[in-house]
Amino acid sequence: MKFAVLADLHFTYEAPISRVDDYFATAIRKMKWVRDYIGEDTPLIIAGDIFDVAKPRNFFKMYASVESVLKNTHTIVGNHDISYHNLSYLPETAYAVLAKSTGCDTHQVTKMGDFELHPFDFGVELQHEKSVFGLPMIAITHEFIYKDKQKFVKGREFSAILKEFPEYAIIISGDNHQHFIEEYEGRYLINNGSLLRRTAGQIDYKPVVTIWEDGVINTIPIPIEADAVSNGHIIASNARELAKGNMLAYMELVKNADREVYDFNSNLLSKIINITDKPTHEVLMEIYTELQEKA
C-alpha cells in the first residue's frame, strides 16, 4: 500500500508579503510536481487548510487549477478553510465547492486500500473510535501538534497524542507548518508541514511530501526557488522605524538650536547634510522639500 501526505496548501491569489514570486502559480506547480512524483494512482492525504481564506476573492480564477491538482485526494477542513473558524459556515466556502466537484472531502470513515481513514476536521477533537472495516486506522486531524513546545502557542505534544490514542496506526496532523515524523511503539505521527514558505521566518524551511509505502516512510524534498522568499519588507520596516526615530531626534535639535541667524528650514537642512544614514537622510530630505514648497 502506498500513499502520500501533505498539509497546509493555503491556496490564494494574494501573495504573502514575504513572497516575491507568483505565489499561486508556484503552489500549483509544486502540487503538479508532487502528483507527477507519486503517480496518479497514489492516494494523497491533505491534512487541512486547502485555502488561505474560506471565500477567496479570486476563487473563479483559481478553480480550474485547484480542481486539477486535487484528484485522488483525501482532505479535511482546516481553520483557514472556514469562516470565523466555525464549521457551520462550511457550505458557503470554496472548500465546499471543491469537495463537491472532486469528492476530495473525507467527512466520514472511508476505506483507502489497506487502511481506513478517520477524519477530524478543525474544531473536532481527536476521539477514540473503533474500526469500521476491520482495517488499520489512520486519524487525520487539523489540530496543532508540536514536537518542541513553542512559546505562546497552544497545542499538544506528539507523544501525548500517540500514547492517548493507541487504536490509530498512524495519526496525520496539519496546522503546524513545521515538518516532523515521530514513532511510538510501532505507531507514527506524521506532521508534514506546509507546502510553501509563507513568512520571512521560513526562508530556510524546505517543504517535503511524505510517502508511506508498505510500512516504509520517506520524505521527499519539493523543489524550491531559494530567492522566492524575502525578508526585505522587514529590513525596510526597520529602516523606516530607524529613520523615523532619528528624524524626531533631529527635529528636536533643530527646534532647540541656538542659531538665530537661520530660519527653521535652513537649520533643518544644515542637520540633514551631516546625516550618513541613508534611510534617515532620504526621509528628512522629503520633509525639507515639502516645507520649502509650502514656505
Band of pLDDT at residue 257, cut at 50, 70 and 90: low
Distance of CA 14 to the CA centre of its chain: 13
The CA distance from 68 to 153, in Å, is 35
Give mean pLDDT, residues 256-266.
58
Spatial neighbors of 84 by CB under 8 A, at least 6 apart, are: none
pLDDT tens across 2-17, in order? 999 999 999 999 877 7
Q: Is residue 66 very low, low, confident or very high in pLDDT (cuts 50, 70, 90)?
A: very high
Q: What is the CATH number of domain 2-227?
A: 3.60.21.10
**pLDDT at position 285:** 81
Distance CA 278, CA 273 (A): 11
Residue 230 pLDDT grade (very low, low, confident, very high; cuts 50, 70, 90): low
State the cell numbers at 250: 533631529
Of these ranges, 51-55, 229-233, 238-242, 275-279, the one predicted with the greatest mean pLDDT is 51-55
The stretch 35-45 carries a mean pLDDT of 97
The pLDDT, as a whole number, for residue 144 is 95
Query: Where exactly are the structural domains of the chain?
Result: 2-227, 232-294
Q: Convert the pLDDT of each residue in 193-225 to its tens digit.
A: 999 887 767 778 899 999 999 999 999 999 988
Q: What is the pLDDT of residue 260?
A: 47
Task: Give the whole-angstrom CA distance, residue 108 versus residue 127.
Answer: 13
| Pairwise CA distance, residues 96 & 153, whole Å | 29
| Alpha helix positions (H), 39-165 | 59-68, 94-102, 158-164
Please state the rounded mean pLDDT for residues 136-154: 87
pLDDT value at residue 286: 80
Model confidence pLDDT, tens digit, residues 102-133: 999 999 999 999 999 999 999 999 999 999 99
Q: DSSP alpha helices (H): ranges in the chain?
A: 23-38, 59-68, 94-102, 158-164, 232-255, 264-273, 278-294
> Could you tell me which of 147, 146, 124 has the C-alpha nearest to residue 76?
124
pLDDT-based confidence at residue 18 (cuts at 50, 70, 90): confident
- The closest alpha carbon to 234, from 90, 59, 33, 18, belongs to 18
pLDDT above 90 (res 270): no
Residue 184, classified by CB atoms within 10 Å of its CB into exposed (0-12), middle (13-18) or buried (19+), is middle
Burial 206-224 (b: 16+ CB within 10 A, else e): ebbbbbbeeeeeebeebee
Band of residue 233 on the pLDDT scale cut at 50, 70, 90: very low
CA distance 47 to 77: 8
The secondary element (H helix, E strand) that includes residue 3 is strand 2-6
Average pLDDT, the chain: 87
